[in-house]
Structure 1
């Protein structure tokens, strides 16, 4: 999953306050915010409005008819703002928080100066839980949910979804007497046909989301159902505690076997180096290197007292330390197998930081739009780090390669020394647009566009491969081999 951790002003102020705390009980005084920042700023494709006063900041999320005050902070100084936004030479406000440190960041987005808040924020400000005036209103909550998707979802035509028709169908069953469960059932039914791994609904009942293609765990569940003579999907009403335990054991054992099949290609177990809680590991055998990268996130634990900029800086430093070690060990191999088949994604800036270790020149990786009306931004790979590898690379991918791991695959596919082997990736590129709704609902939806260097939009399709192979098939398990690694070795021999 591709995470954008939109910084909260309150957390930012707490982190800065902690740095300068003392036992002095004198009243806090702040300097006025730089006038260049003051005013109202809009990012229409993000549904975001920011109102900056002399010492105050208010953040709003809005649609055509509804608006929420999501952040309200006072005693704010210029230095606080500059931890997550900056004034550009064009006069726009650039939001970079959550996209990585400025020296190694993904593309943030711009907000444009305007004279007034959106009309909905002036005339129909909806109170969220914990705010004054909050009331539960199921019909209104359903309307907000529907309009958010209607205005910000990237493309209903991708899966031939008639959103207007779905809204008409399910709105009939929502009344002022509807429960949160009624709302959850209706919302769930509406997002299911989107088959979008980056679209989700979270509530007191849990989180629902639907993949475009089966990932490994889903494939294993289907295999279990077939073996046990069960229907698939397995109906919840027939699931027993014993069945669930057996299923969990089957999945766990299978995933462990998949890793074992890889490690069998090492000369011996002691030659394998593990880092990042085992999500990164590498070895060399007979002149061929293998590097497994299992995530694009969590290379350093977040500090709750720090802001996004500091946490991202720490994460990048930890990643760089691992990459320096790994690529130093792999520097002299004749070919490198780079495996991201089970990488579920994370941060785009992490995927770019890794990809930059495999190029000697600037290369257009992809272009990106932050929303329907946003301009396209070109994203380049640029040589980074003292230790890089630019020899032959076989990049292993699968349908379980998702999100930021897919932007990594998209980037790497532009390098002449790289061949992609396996299955087309999941096809979930967009960053996640997050919304808090009344009645305890949180939404995530895809609202952005990623295009390959030649202009192809691969959302829903995934990054294609050069050499098709299976991934952890039943035959591979029975014959104890890894088809992707075997194909990579054959390619190196050509």
Structure 2
């Protein structure tokens, strides 16, 4: 097996905020592996440790997974992929193909070398252990870096994909560093060093998850020989990643995949499948169907709406108590065959759904916003939802990348939506399943004085996923960003704790406890009769 040659393959994307065998090109899109499709209870890949034989020669795994739920790559993380189309250019912002932007640029953090010419863009991955070409296409790179603005000096620029989205600061170089474009063969020891350097330079959560992780990885280097078998090297990497148990960390090599082990509710579902001696996917299917049916029948009493490509459920849970459930932060529109919906298309599909629901809630005493089973998606969608519940601008959260020297945190502020909105009491409901962009929505809502956080703590995986193709064609993804709430608190690994605890998924009744908990919450919000 030729596992160590640098591949010349079709494009992969360096950034993703969501789950992933397909490469989500938008930097602020992420999700984590769902147990079940929110569409109709169809089983999806479980978050688990996977060693899938046999390991074939490497090939690019750049298939785009439909966020409509129809196509999933077996044994890898779910990607609710979102490609960003061309956006209107605001004053002072220009397309990244003008002469001022031509040249070679090194990112602060992220480990990127971006080459810009009038003909297009190229990307290289750079670590202390080596530099190599990234197979991303110009079209994909423009989704992330297609807009730019001058930085604090002539040789500094900020590149980004859309106004208001994550900005990446770059410094101009005189030329591409030597060796970056030189074809070469990478042996197992060199791949180990690149893997190690990637985490040392970019992983954001060592203090919370595994403070001595690099030291323990270093102790394994003596086991690696230059001609080490690909499967053995993959297993060594996977064993190292296991202790992080981060929902945004994974490793893929064609049919061989590492994913974090299930915890919390997901672990309970696996235990249930073993106790019932039934396939875990069958159990997951029943659980997700029970979740959906419990909302429609018990919470909404048979009078709810299931819309937005079956990602949204809404109605009245009690007299004058509105209920809105978002299963994802994307996937609200089914893309055309072979196409992934853009962020603009996602928002265009979601906004009318929110309009209808919030118009109906206009006279409500309270609204329950349920994201207890939200698997993530676009941060931009999360902010758009949160803006329906604020009456004035509110600082929501900030973020910054590991290793981004002298780059101030990027601030995100919610602006009141001009569309139908609700500014009364809001109760946002979460669980340990709530993850990624679902957590970002919760983070933003907690900045609002009219919002109360109910349920159990969220998963604690906020960061975008930094997608790093390795020189041999494997792909590793990791959390490299820090998210802080309006008070400056970082909740990575521990999750967002509720202000009003309410057990959502009880171990003794996983199938019905969610509906029972939401029914009780809704009833508690009905004012007593005089």
Instruction: Note the 1:300-319 alignment, pairs <5 A.
Output: 300-302=333-335, 311-319=342-350
Structure 2 spans left out of the alignment, 5+ residues: 1-15, 19-23, 28-63, 65-83, 86-95
Cα distance in 2 between the residues matched to 1:477 and 1:244: 16
Larger deviation, residues 42-51 vs 340-349: 42-51
- Is 2:126 aligned against 1:66? no
Query: Does the CA contact (< 8 Å) of 1:295 and 1:343 recur in 2?
Result: yes
The whole-number CA distance in structure 2 between the counterparts of 1:305 and 1:475 is 40
For residue 50 of structure 1, report the CA deviation from its aligned partner.
1.3
Quick one: which of 95, 99, 112 aligns to 2:159? 95
Whole-Å separation in 1 of the counterparts to 2:495 and 2:333:
29
8 Å CA contact 1:436–1:442 kept in 2: the answer is yes
Q: Aligned Cα RMSD in Å?
A: 3.1
Separation in 2, partners of 1:208, 1:170: 18
Relative contact order (alpha carbons < 8 A, sep ≥ 6): 1 or 2 greater?
Answer: 2
Rg bigger for which structure? 1
Post-superposition offset of 1:460? 0.7
Provide the C-alpha distance between the structure 1 equivalents of 2:167 and 2:417, rounded to a whole number of angstroms: 20
Shift of 1:266: 4.8
The structure that is helix-richer by fraction is 1
Q: Which residue of 2 aligns with 1:5?
A: 25
Among 167, 178, 196, the residue aligned to 1:122: 178
Relative to structure 1, the CA distance from residue 180 to residue 342 in structure 2 (aligned partners, 3 Å threshold; closer, same or farther) is: same
- Per the alignment, residue 483 of structure 2 pairs with 450
Residue in 2 that maps onto 1:276: 308
Deviation of 1:33 (Å): 4.7
Determine if contact 1:337/1:485 at 8 Å carries over to the other structure.
no
Q: Tell me, yes or no, if the aligned pair for 1:297 and 1:347 is still in contact at 8 Å.
A: yes
Which of 402, 417, 426 is the aligned partner of 1:371? 402
Checking the alignment, whether the CA contact within 8 Å between 1:42 and 1:111 is kept in structure 2 is yes
Q: Within the alignment, does 1:201 sit opposite 2:251 as a pair?
A: yes
Partner Cα separation in structure 2 for residue 264 and residue 176 of structure 1: 60
Correspondence 1:214-253 to 2 at 5 A: 214-225=263-274, 227-228=275-276, 243=277, 245=279, 247-253=280-286
TM-score (norm 1): 0.80
* 1:411 alignment partner, one of 423, 429, 444: 444
CA distance in 2, matches of 1:479, 1:218: 16
Structure 1 residue 37 displacement after superposition: 1.1
Question: How many residue pairs get matched?
Answer: 436
Q: What is the DSSP-based 3-state SS (H/G/I as helix, E as strand, rest coil) of the residue aligned with 2:342?
A: helix
Return the alpha-carbon distance in structure 1 between the equivalents of residues 118 and 293 of structure 2.
60
Shift of 1:422: 0.7
- Secondary structure of 1:282's match? strand
- Tell me the equivalent position of 1:41: 105
Query: Are the aligned partners of 2:151 and 2:157 in contact in 1 as well (CA < 8 Å)?
Result: no
The alpha carbon displacement at 1:300 in A equals 3.1
Measured in 2, the distance between the counterparts of 1:84 and 1:41 equals 14
What is residue 146 of structure 2 aligned with on the other side?
Answer: 84
* 1:293 corresponds to 2:357: no
Question: Cα distance 1:477–1:197, how it changes in 2: closer, same or farther (>3 A)?
Answer: closer
CA distance in 2, matches of 1:485, 1:206: 43
TM-score for the superposition, normalised by structure 2: 0.75
